[in-house]
Amino acid sequence: MSIKLIIVFLLMLMVRSDSDLQIDKTGWRKINSAAAESWPGKNVVFVKVILAAANPKSITPNHCVYKVTSGAAVMGYLYADNAMGKFDTFDFAVLFSTDLRIMSTVVLTYREEYGGEIASARWLRQFTGSTTPFEFGHNVQGISGATISARAMTAGMNNAVARMRELKSKYQL
């Protein structure tokens, strides 16, 4: 009996071994309102994609991916990750269409004292619609007083696009 329980426990551990980024209530509220703008009139449901068992090595420690569904149809994807500002990390989420165009970007949690300006909806809008590599200071404008975080966000967006492309081509997400 006890051995069986241990086996169950170990199996559970294996399943839950991916240390995903956890999205809190405020985060989901932001994602939901961004999704409502990206897919107007659709009641979308987020379905988590479990990646751990498939290819553990390719998983960056913190990101997580959801399918955005409406009824039986897949509308797009949600990618959430964190990036490093000057002193602390911040969490962000990107909504993709099924063909991996960026629909919307939101900063979920910003922790450090300076640089929170990157959470501005208008600043984040410059990523929308684009799938080209982002180059800070070229096709991504900085914000005075938030340079380090704006640069980190730009790199985070490039990661997000690359990761989603990889998932889509390798695993027919």
Contact status, residue 20 vs residue 12, Cβ threshold 8 Å: no
Q: Does position 6 bind other proteins by CB under 8 A?
A: no
Q: Does position 151 bind other proteins by CB under 8 A?
A: yes
Binding segment for other proteins (CB under 8 A), chosen from 97-105, 114-122, 158-166, is: 114-122
Q: How far apart are CA 44 and CA 35, in angstroms?
A: 8
Q: Does position 159 bind other proteins by CB under 8 A?
A: no
Q: How big, in percent rounded to 5, are the helix, strand and coil portions of the chain?
A: 40, 25, 35
**Which is closer to other proteins, CB of 17 or CB of 162?**
17
Q: Report the site for other proteins in 117-146 (rule: CB under 8 A).
A: 117, 119-123, 126, 137, 141-145
Alpha helices, H only, the chain:
2-15, 25-38, 121-124, 147-171
Contact status, residue 154 vs residue 85, Cβ threshold 8 Å: no
Interaction site with other proteins (CB under 8 A): 4-5, 7-8, 11-12, 14-15, 21-28, 32, 45-54, 62, 67, 82, 86-91, 107, 109-114, 116-117, 119-123, 126, 137, 141-145, 147-148, 151, 171-173
